[in-house]
Structure 1
Amino acid sequence: MQGKARKVVQAILYEIIAVACVAPALALMFETSMAHSTVLSVLMSGIAMSWNMGYNWAFERWEARQAQRRRTWLRRLLHALGFEGGLVLILLPLVAFWLDISLWSALLTNLALFVFFFVYAFVFQWGFDKVFDVPLSAQQRTAEC
């Protein structure tokens, strides 16, 4: 699977699994209802999907210009760090407002989510590439005849 279809399937699967994990965790951590934490999780998911699409577009554009196009463990690590680090900053005001907590508490919450999502993003992307193959931007170039 390649192109836009790959990106859409990747983002949707990623976020469905994420909401299923995050909503109950937030409900337990902040002693709030599942409904309240699920709405927050869905809002965060929508923002994350937008970030995912933009970030992956930029990453694959950069990746396609590299001499070495294979997705190494280091490249996957940098991809996960960049994605999750950017998302922590983007979601900070929403988490603080929604949970009625300080920016510091929201940052700590986002960092806890970062730890989970850092591992999750790495494992998810590896598994997704195994099932659907890597995008053309990460495939080795073959010599033309």
Structure 2
Amino acid sequence: MNKSAVAVLLSLFLTACAGIPQRTSDKEVLERYRQYAGEPVSSITSFGRYDSWRPLGRDHLVIWTGINDAYLLSIAGPCNDLPFVNRIAIKSRGPTLDRGDSVIVGRNQRCMITEIRPVDYRRMKQDARAKPEMSE
């Protein structure tokens, strides 16, 4: 293949890749959650289980305890394996989830919870529907 043919193919490939939507970075998603997060709380009082979770880098994650009950957790870190694992465990000292409790990641890496913020997830979803570019 001559140089001009390679240049044309490369140009076509790069143009095609430019149209592929880029995944929103964890940092951008974290900032979105922070916009809807309330003041820090010392504990989640009705914590018996969590339905879902999402890592947001190595020192934050969101957990859901119900369909619209989300909490942004800051953890002492970095919790290196957090962005890569499929499962986590939450180790609490009682029926509440408190600052100082732990998220267990990977092969028993303990990551202490340093901050808990309730997220107005219902409003976040409503705003995302109103502005589709805000969706995850």
Q: TM-score range by the shorter chain?
A: under 0.3
More strand by share: 2
Give the number of the structure with larger relative contact order, counting CA–CA contacts within 8 Å between residues 6 or more apart. Answer: 1
Q: TM-score normalised to the size of structure 1?
A: 0.26
More helix by share: 1
Q: TM-score normalised to the size of structure 2?
A: 0.27
Q: Which has the larger radius of gyration?
A: 2
